[in-house]
Amino acid sequence: MNVEYTGRQYEITPAIRKEVETGLTKIKKILGDRFETKVILAVEKHRHKAEITISPRNGPIVGLAQAGDMTSAVNEALEHLEKQALKYKTRWRTKKRQPRKGFDTKPNGNGVELQAAVGVTEKTAVPIVVHKYPQVSKTTEAHPPCSVK
């Protein structure tokens, strides 16, 4: 895991660097360690901004935060990144867990079953077709039946 730090109008302290590293270890447990990270810390008019970008295989995950001090901005950005990483991981997992298209789960695909009765052999058995729905749909009457007094 490579981390690139950039400070815009801000000097990166070892405490901030340690805060980012501990937050990235949580994300490393979720996504693995095959990603590059860019951390941009900026100060504009008493606003401390933190932008952390992670580049896994499919596309970048970005965490942006703005706060009164830099440590809280970094923590908010890392929380946002953690939520996005969990979403990314679950999306990836659900895509991977699809059944194969060529595998047929039905025991008899055409709906024909052999009659199993006492004294019937395979040669004399009559195939039975089982339908889930009747061929002719039920029709409803347009008007309810009139009651005659």
Q: Where are the domains of the chain?
A: 2-96
The predicted structure's pLDDT at residue 112:
46
Q: What is the reported pTM?
A: 0.62
- Give me the pLDDT at residue 1, please: 73
Greater confidence, 1 or 62?
62
- pLDDT for res 134: 58
**Distance, CA of 106 to CA of 127 (rounded, Å):** 17
pLDDT of residue 103: 57
pLDDT value at position 8? 93
Whole-number CA gyration radius for the chain: 32
Q: What is the pLDDT of residue 145?
A: 64
pLDDT average, residue stretch 10-33: 93
pLDDT reading at 133 higher than 70? no
Name the CATH superfamily housing domain 2-96: Ribosome hibernation promotion factor-like (3.30.160.100)
According to the model, what pLDDT value does residue 105 have?
54
146 confidence band (pLDDT: 50, 70, 90): low
Alpha-carbon dihedral angle through residues 7, 9, 15, 19, given to the nearest 10 degrees: -50
d(CA 134, CA 19): 67
Could you give the angle at the alpha carbon of 124 between the alpha carbons of 118 and 126, nearest 5°?
Answer: 85
Across the beta sheet with 47-55, the strand order is 2-8, 36-44, 47-55, 61-67
